[in-house]
Structure 1
Amino acid sequence: MNIDNFRTYCLQKPGTTEEFPFDNETLVFKVMGKMYALSGLESWEAGTPRINLKCDPERALELRGEYPESVLPGWHMNKQHWNTVLLNGEISLKQLYEFIDHSYELIVNSLTKKLKEELKGLN
């Protein structure tokens, strides 16, 4: 996966926007204003891409155990709810898409009823 594939995959999800709220290097994807994925552009340029994704706490621990070289506690994030995924070849593209989908769905499920209705209107 490259940065363009990552951006395209995230942006095709309903209600997704991309922003740089922290600095000019940290690309953030939000659904209805709530963050579900972020990545430092410098990690892509350095050849060791990293993506932070929201994750169910139990599943986060399972993934860290299953992929100790690729799935780490979220860098600069709540480590119970966020993972940092290193794109070092251990995680397949299909698995990465599943991780992104899981993160997106966690945020969508946590939205208020009003925001969920607004999101439905965007489809």
Structure 2
Amino acid sequence: MDIEQIRSYCLNKKGVTEEFPFDEHTLVFKVLGKMYALISLKKWEEGEAAINLKANPEYAIELRETYHNIRAGYHMNKKHWNTVYLQETELHPDLVKSLIDHSYKMVVQGMTKKMQSKLEEL
């Protein structure tokens, strides 16, 4: 998947916005203000296409053991975040979408009931 496909997929989820809260190079996707995906545009332009995604801790480890291009989250909490390197070997787009979906769901599950209700109303 290219960056525009990933961006479009992330933005099509309910309650999602995109921001640059850290610097002009780090694109962050949030659901009701909570991060669920990050992309370094600078690294992407340098040929290091990658996306940071949240994951259930057990699933995060399983993914790292299964795919050599999924590693502990770069500059993130290594227990809860993975970095998915897209340029090393092409991951099937369905897998990438599944990982994005999982990250989104993890963040929504961690929200208060009030926030979850607000999301449902959108």
Q: Which runs of 4+ in 1 moved over 3 A?
A: none
Confirm or deny: 8 A CA contact 1:2 1:44 kept in the other structure: no
Q: RMSD across aligned C-alpha pairs, in angstroms?
A: 0.8
2:31 — aligned with what?
31
Q: Percent identity?
A: 54
Paired residue total: 121
Amino acid at match of 1:46: E
**TM-score computed with the length of structure 2 as normaliser:** 0.96
Task: Tell me how far 1:90 sits from its aligned partner.
Answer: 3.9
User: Can you list the C-alpha shifts for 1:67-117, whole angstroms capped at 9, x where unaligned?
Assistant: 12x101000000000000000234211000000000000011111111111
- Unaligned 5+ segments in structure 2 are none
1:87 — aligned with what?
86
Task: Tell me how far 1:43 sits from its aligned partner.
Answer: 2.0
Amino acid at match of 2:76: M
- Unaligned 5+ segments in structure 1 are none
Give the Cα–Cα distance (whole angstroms) in 1 for the partners of residues 96 and 50 of structure 2: 11
Give the Cα–Cα distance (whole angstroms) in 1 for the partners of residues 73 and 30 of structure 2: 17
